[in-house]
Amino acid sequence: MLRSCTAALRTLRALRGRREGASPAARDPVLARVSPGRGAAEVDRGVGLSVRNNPVIWRWFSTEKVIPKDHALPNPSWSKDLRLLFDQFMKKCEDGSWERLPSYKNSKLVKEQLSQAQLFTRGYEDGLGFEYVIFYNDDEKRTVCLFQGGPYLQGVPGFLHGGAIATMIDATVGMCAAIPGGIVMTANLNINFKRPIPLCSVVVINSQLDKIEGRKLFLSCNVRSVDEKILYSEATGLFIKLDPEKSLT
Amino acid sequence: MIRRGFQVAARLGHHGALPGGPYILPRFSPASAFGSSMDSLVSRFCQEKTDLKNYTLPNASWCPDMLNLYHEFLEKTKADGWIRLPSFKSNRNHIQGLKLPLALTVTSDKSDCRIFTRCIETEGQGYEYVIFFHPSKKKSVCLFQPGPDLEGTPRFAHRGSLAAMIDETFSKTAYLAGEGLFTLNLNITFKNLIRVGSLALLNVDVEKIEDQKLYISCVAQSADQQTVYTKASGTFLQLQLEEDSSQY
């Protein structure tokens, strides 16, 4: 989660840069990420040394060829429920109280910059696995994840696998912890399953920060149906702020 | 095997409808609890003579630790009472001839569904695992090697993938040990990350069974047992599947 939270923070700063009227490069989360020298192998196709050593031109080249796909945007596999919810939350983003988190699949170019969930949860064809988007509210210290689980996430025939739900809870709660906490690691996740979630349905995962004690962050989370009438799961999470100098193991 | 949990709204029967309509869960019948019933559960589950692809056979992606432990446990299946559990693409394949109680069937069940832990086809890319179960001791061992598609923090397995592996091992163990069908609770404490491509050994024990609930625990550690990756506990609701005479 070390690098993942660094990535989350970079995303945050990039988005804030956009809000505060920063330069175009800073405003675009993709442009803000790419730096000279990175991904040279990826775009080194007859690009001369002088180009690679020139930061401005290199940045232009890199973004022209290898803009990663943002998976946290609607695609044809998204159900009507998911699209409607997405639109509702995008409206909430207009006044700046909410922000949508972009979500990129792993690639050599952006390998060091990704949030933790991205490779594991973005490695499926559209609609087969995890379709989700996370919004966060900095003032209220909470995140909301709109999640549609596809047919490759099955547990009980016809229902979502408990591990798939645990993954999304971890992603949502983790993002909620990283925003105030910086570099954090999950210490504990405790999930109570109330009802099985039918495959291919849409659920809303709400997470909030309850309290901070020293390096410990206490969070809670619930998973509900779109109309909020069905409570599928409740969870609590304990995250620990890490010392960036320490190794992961 | 069946791991979606829901609360003992079973007892009350009217906490709002499950998708598919209102329901009342069938009561679990203690008369068909363990003993000979476990043998029939196991034999029905482990249908080795089948055309279905069994994902628990070694392949070229398995690291030396995984191969060594696999062969060690395979030896134990000959005399020590251990059973190697087969693993198919969908849980449907494990329950042929059986079905969920009527109130729990849903229209979203499609034939192209895959169990989460077998969704990545390419050898070595996703979940490589095999579970050995010991009926009389009510315990399991899972040999788990996470592939690069399960990466979270670079070079390490995503915590969600480990949670899924624990839940999956719990589910199979709970089902065979006492018809535990639905996860009610999962509590996981993460201690260290698992490197992609290395082996994690999951030791799972059924702690107790009472009041229609099955309590189960797990310690996941490195092959040399020097590093503990996680400690976890789970609770499962006991529920019997029904006989199904129709074909899937």
Please answer yes or no on whether B160 and A170 come within 8 Å at the CB atom: yes
Tell whether the model's pLDDT for residue A54 goes beyond 80.
no
Our CA-based measurement puts residue A138 at a distance from the nearest CA of chain B, in whole angstroms, of 24
B167 annotated active-site: yes
The total number of residues written for chain A in this structure: 249
pLDDT higher at B110 or A91: A91
Ranges A1-5, A197-201, B111-115: which has the least confidence: A1-5
Average pLDDT, chain B: 80
- Is residue A109 scored above 50 in pLDDT? no
For position B234, what pLDDT does the model report?
A: 97
Contacts of B175 in chain A (CB under 8 A): none
Find the residue in A nearest to B152 (Cα). A116
Cα A158 to Cα A154: distance, rounded to the nearest angstrom:
7
Asked if the C-beta of A101 comes within 8 angstroms of chain B's C-beta atoms, the answer is: no
Distance from CA of A126 to the nearest CA of B (A): 14
pLDDT at residue A169 is higher than 90: yes
All residues of chain A having their beta carbon less than 8 Å from the beta carbon of residue B160 are: 117, 120-121, 163-164, 166-168, 170-171
The answer to whether the CB atoms of B2 and A156 lie below 8 A apart is yes
Gap from B177 CA to chain A (nearest CA, Å): 17
Which residues in chain A are closer than 8 Å to B163, comparing Cβ atoms? 163, 166-167, 170, 189
Instruction: State the pLDDT confidence band at B28, using cuts at 50, 70 and 90.
Output: low
CA dist B62 and A233 (Å) reads: 35
Q: What is the pLDDT of residue A245?
A: 67
pLDDT at B76: 93
Element (H, E) at B205: strand B200-210
Q: Which of B3, B196, B236 to mutate to test the interface with A (most CBs of A within 10 A)?
A: B3
How many angstroms separate the Cα of A208 from the Cα of each of A11, A186, B77, B132, B143? 19, 15, 48, 39, 35
Helices (H) and strands (E) in chain A, counts: 9, 7
